A and B are shown apart, each in its own frame.
Chain A
Amino acid sequence: EVQLVESGGGLIQPGGSLTLSCTASGLTVSNNYLNWVRQAPGRGLEWVSTIYSGGPTYYADSVRGRFTISRDNSKNTLYLQMNSLRAEDTAVYYCARSTRHVDTTMVEYYYYYYMDVWGKGTTVTVSS
């Protein structure tokens, strides 16, 4: 069974740092596109960051320069290092895998991406 399990959330003061972990089973982190998505209390979903299997990383404008996504292949684990935390970073943080569907009916192959495996989330609360 493919599974993602997040950990590392907690209560942290504004300006502090926290590292979230996402341990994978049934999939290899180095071979997959993995994402962090967050959800503030009572709010919608917000994409935070992605790491591609080849290594490139991407960030939402709201976290760029403060958050760093990385992985440890030997531990099969994804991380999110969060620095300079703000009250607006308070949310449940989910890790999710992106999978692609290949449309071969077109002249050139076209890829559709979607998040098919999600962890249960870990809660980060930024408050003094």
Chain B
Amino acid sequence: DIQMTQSPPSLSASVGDRVTITCRASQSIRRNLNWYQQKPGKAPKLLIYAASNLQSGVPSRFSGSGSGTHFTLTINSLRPEDFATYFCQQSHRTPEYSFGQGTKVEIK
């Protein structure tokens, strides 16, 4: 199994801040890494696929980078609607997807 580890588990930030979330894989997954946003009571929403490709309709303040075992999701100029939980997902061993445990972004 490929284990995905996100850090930090939670963070507090203010509107306008730049936020970075890290995801590490237990083995190389090349660029098979996706990022999702989830708000309370809602389904996950795809933000980034293949490590750095922005899903259609997602604001450009979201960006992803990385390859191999180390990946980051960056949110530039945090907006009120960005307060949510973010999950990374590996798709290297499709269809045996695995997710990180999530990073909750809270208002400072």
> Residue-by-residue, is A35-54 near B (CB-CB < 8 Å gives 1, otherwise 0)?
10100000011110010100
Known pairs A45-B44, A58-B95, A101-B53; A112 contacts B32 (CB<8 A) = yes
> Residue-by-residue, is B53-91 near A (CB-CB < 8 Å gives 1, otherwise 0)?
101000000000000000000000000000000010101
Chain B interface, >50% SS class? loop
Binds B, one of A11-19, A23-31, A114-122: A114-122
Report Cα–Cα, A94/B89, bound state, in Å.
15
Contact pick for A112, options B49, B98, B99, B100, CB 8 Å: B49
Which B residues, 1 to 58, have Cβ-Cβ distances below 8 Å to chain A? 31-32, 34, 36, 42-46, 49-50, 53, 55
A103 at the interface (CB under 8 A from B): yes
Q: How far is the CB of B6 from chain A (nearest CB, A)?
A: 9
Contact pick for A118, options B31, B43, B89, CB 8 Å: B43
A79 at the interface (CB under 8 A from B): no
Contact call A113/B94, Cβ cutoff below 8 A: yes
Residue of A nearest to B95 (CB): A50
Residue of B nearest to A117 (CB): B46
Known pairs A112-B91, A113-B32; A47 contacts B98 (CB<8 A) = yes
Residue of B nearest to A110 (CB): B30
Number of A-B contacts defined by CB within 8 Å: 67
Q: Which residues of B contact A116 (CB under 8 A)?
A: 46, 49, 55
A33 at the interface (CB under 8 A from B): yes
> Residue-by-residue, is A44-81 near B (CB-CB < 8 Å gives 1, otherwise 0)?
11110010100000101000000000000000000000
Report Cα–Cα, A114/B50, bound state, in Å.
8
Q: Which residues of B contact A83 (CB under 8 A)?
A: none
Report Cα–Cα, A123/B104, bound state, in Å.
22
Contact call B50/A118, Cβ cutoff below 8 A: no
Report Cα–Cα, A40/B91, bound state, in Å.
21
Which residues of A are interface residues toward B (Cβ below 8 A)?
A: 33, 35, 37, 44-47, 50, 52, 58, 60, 94, 96, 98, 101, 103, 112-116, 118-121
Return 12 A-B CB contacts under 8 Å, by A number: A50-B95, A52-B95, A94-B43, A98-B94, A103-B50, A112-B49, A112-B91, A113-B32, A115-B97, A116-B46, A116-B49, A121-B43
